[in-house]
Amino acid sequence: MPESAARQGLVVALQANYGWVELDQSGPEGCRRLLCTRRTRLAKSGQIICVGDRVRVEGIDWIAGRGAVAAVEPRSVLLARPPVANVSLVVVVVALAEPALDPLQLSRFLLTAEATGQAVLLVLAKADLLPEAAVAAWLERVAAWGYRAVPVSTRTGRGLDALRERLSRPGLAVISGPSGVGKSSLLNALKPDLDLRVASVSGRLQRGRHTTRHVELFALAPGALVADSPGFNRPELPGDPARLARLFPEVRRALERAECRFSNCLHRGEPGCAVGCDWERHGWYAEWVGDLRERAARADAPGVSQGPGEASLRRRGDRLEPRLDQQWRQPSRRSQRQQAWREGRDDQDGGQP
């Protein structure tokens, strides 16, 4: 394959085993977007492809508009959920109402965003559904956490100009948040020609309906891309308890003013702690640190027996997940066949040993 036949491009969407790649330079007849597979050698080496990746495409069939991703350029950052590469801004979108805003869930989303090391922007959607005093109270509350939030309303247009200006800066921004908070509606308001599918919140449970099924990039301005992503309701916490504290702006601000007495301080009321306990999210932080330390200890001691009714943990990839308690496990087919054979033999022997 001659090198001149290859093209550089950006992965703008993934669906099933295929990816859409936007080329840097147009091909014959102005072809700019190709439906691509992944070269076998990438699959064998375990190389995954994510939206936002810079890639090299070979084996291009310009007439059919197809090609194959042959190489992936090194990433600057990778957001695990939603899986987006080379992100420069993480936009956390939550609704003030319908569904009601859960501060604990919001904190988990903010921690996930902070873990990328990139800039974080908090958007409070559906601001028209609450009285102005309630909106102001939320703005003051998250400001104490360290976030200057943008209240928006797709119905009244509040905050859309400010948000559009921020997202029109060069870079790749990813929109994340729970289902039903209006992420796709927000993008439709910012760029009406997108015409993304939306749905109302479930009336009975006040839960969001999943309308976005995959991650896809859209251009809001030259050089400015934004990724719409499926909603999910329970982000995973970062796995390192020692790293968790730095993901809280409250902790970072306190440590800029003073240092803790001990270098391994976990900021849970230890002597000489510069952070202290006088901040709203400290209780959640202390609980999460305890959970992470317990999980780490149990993972390091796989031979330790678990208590009655207590599920152990197993490692899958880079995360821990609970094992199903023995009483809820289904026996394997092999065990079922062995049990049937034993019962049949007991019947033949008249139940005698």
**What crossing angle do the helices spanning 132-145 and 249-257 adopt, rounded to 10°?**
50
How far is the C-alpha of 73 from the C-alpha of 55, rounded, in Å?
Answer: 6
Q: Are residues 66 and 84 in the same domain?
A: no
Instruction: Calculate what percentage of the chain has a pLDDT beyond 70.
Output: 77
Average pLDDT, the chain: 81
- 259's CB contacts (< 8 A; 6+ apart) are 274
What pLDDT score was predicted for residue 26? 86
Through-space distance between the first and last CA atoms of the chain, rounded to whole angstroms: 72
How far is the C-alpha of 245 from the C-alpha of 285, rounded, in Å?
Answer: 8
Q: 124 is in which domain, residue-wise? A: 79-228
- pTM score, whole prediction: 0.75
The 10s digit of each residue's pLDDT in 271-292 is 999 999 999 999 999 999 988 8
Domain-ending residue, one of 74, 94, 123? 74
Q: Are residues 84 and 208 in the same domain?
A: yes
The 10s digit of each residue's pLDDT in 18-40 is 899 999 988 888 888 999 998 88
Look up residue 55 and give its two tokens: 């890639």
Q: Are residues 84 and 214 in the same domain?
A: yes
Q: Is residue 69 part of a domain?
A: yes
Look up residue 49 and give its two tokens: 């492809």
Name the 3-class secondary structure at 215. Answer: coil
Q: Are residues 191 and 95 in the same domain?
A: yes
How far is the C-alpha of 69 from the C-alpha of 39, rounded, in Å?
Answer: 6
**Could you tell me whether strands 171-176 and 224-228 are parallel, antiparallel, or unpaired per DSSP bridges?**
parallel
Name the 3-class secondary structure at 56. Answer: strand
Q: Is residue 250 part of a domain?
A: yes
pLDDT band at 304 (very low <50, low <70, confident <90, very high): very low
Q: Are residues 137 and 270 in the same domain?
A: no
Q: Is residue 167 part of a domain?
A: yes
Q: Are residues 247 and 207 in the same domain?
A: no
Look up residue 144 and give its two tokens: 């104490």
CATH number of the domain to which 280 belongs = 1.10.40.50
Domain-ending residue, one of 74, 103, 134? 74
Residue type, 97: A
104-140 as b/e, with b when 16 or more CB fall inside 10 Å?
Answer: ebbbbbbbbbbbbebebbbbbbbbbebeeeebeebbe
CATH number of the domain to which 34 belongs = 2.40.50.140
Look up residue 40 and give its two tokens: 């076998």
What pLDDT score was predicted for residue 34? 93
CATH number of the domain to which 203 belongs = 3.40.50.300
Which residues make beta-bridge pairs with 37? 68
Average pLDDT of span 157-168: 94
Q: Are residues 187 and 250 in the same domain?
A: no
Q: Are residues 281 and 347 in the same domain?
A: yes
Domains in the chain, number = 3
The secondary element (H helix, E strand) that includes residue 135 is: helix 132-145
pLDDT band at 235 (very low <50, low <70, confident <90, very high): confident
Q: Which residue's structure tokens are 């001990």?
A: 262
Q: Are residues 13 and 129 in the same domain?
A: no
Q: Is residue 204 part of a domain?
A: yes
What pLDDT score was predicted for residue 70? 92
Q: Are residues 90 and 68 in the same domain?
A: no
Which residues make beta-bridge pairs with 274? none
Q: Is residue 346 part of a domain?
A: yes
DSSP state, residue 85: E
Q: Is residue 251 part of a domain?
A: yes
DSSP state, residue 51: B
- 135's CB contacts (< 8 A; 6+ apart) are 96, 124, 127, 151
Average pLDDT of span 308-325: 49
Q: Are residues 68 and 89 in the same domain?
A: no
What pLDDT score was predicted for residue 310? 40
Q: Are residues 90 and 204 in the same domain?
A: yes
How far is the C-alpha of 274 from the C-alpha of 163, rounded, in Å?
Answer: 35
Q: Is residue 338 part of a domain?
A: yes
Look up residue 310 and give its two tokens: 């207590």
- Is the distance from CB of 179 to CB of 231 less than 8 angstroms? yes
Q: Is residue 233 part of a domain?
A: no
Domain-ending residue, one of 205, 228, 251? 228
